[in-house]
Amino acid sequence: MIALIQRVSHANVAVAGEVIAQIERGLVVLVGVARGDSEREAEKLAERVLRYRVFPDSDGRMNLSVREIAGAVLLVPQFTLTADTSGGLRPSFSSAAPPGLGAQLFAHFVAQVRASGVSSACGRFGADMQVSLTNDGPVTFWLEAEPREA
pLDDT tens per residue, range 62-115 = 999 999 999 999 999 999 999 999 989 999 999 999 999 999 999 999 999 999
Q: How confident is the model at residue 145 (pLDDT cuts 50, 70, 90)?
A: confident
> Taking the mean position of all CA atoms in its chain, how far away is CA 14?
16
Class of domain 2-144: alpha beta
Catalytic position from the list 6, 22, 55, 80: 80
At residue 84, the pLDDT reads 93
Q: Are strands 72-77 and 26-32 parallel, antiparallel or unpaired?
A: parallel
Which comes out higher in pLDDT, residue 90 or 150? 90
Please write the tens of the pLDDT for every residue from 13-23.
999 999 999 99
Confidence of residue 149 (pLDDT cuts 50, 70, 90): low
Q: How much is the pLDDT for 147?
A: 60
Is 6 assigned a catalytic role?
A: no
Calpha distance 74→51 (Å, rounded): 15
For the chain, give the percent of residues with pLDDT over 70: 97
Could you count the other beta carbons within 10 Å of the beta carbon of residue 70?
Answer: 11
Residue ranges of domains in the chain: 2-144
Q: Is 79 a residue of the active site?
A: yes
Supply the pLDDT for residue 128.
97
Which residue in the list 55, 79, 106, 109 is annotated as catalytic? 79
- Among 6, 22, 55, 78, the one annotated catalytic: 78
Strand partners, 27: 7, 73
Q: Which of 6-15, 40-49, 87-96, 125-134 has the lowest mean pLDDT?
A: 87-96
Q: Cα(first)–Cα(last) distance of the chain, in Å? A: 18
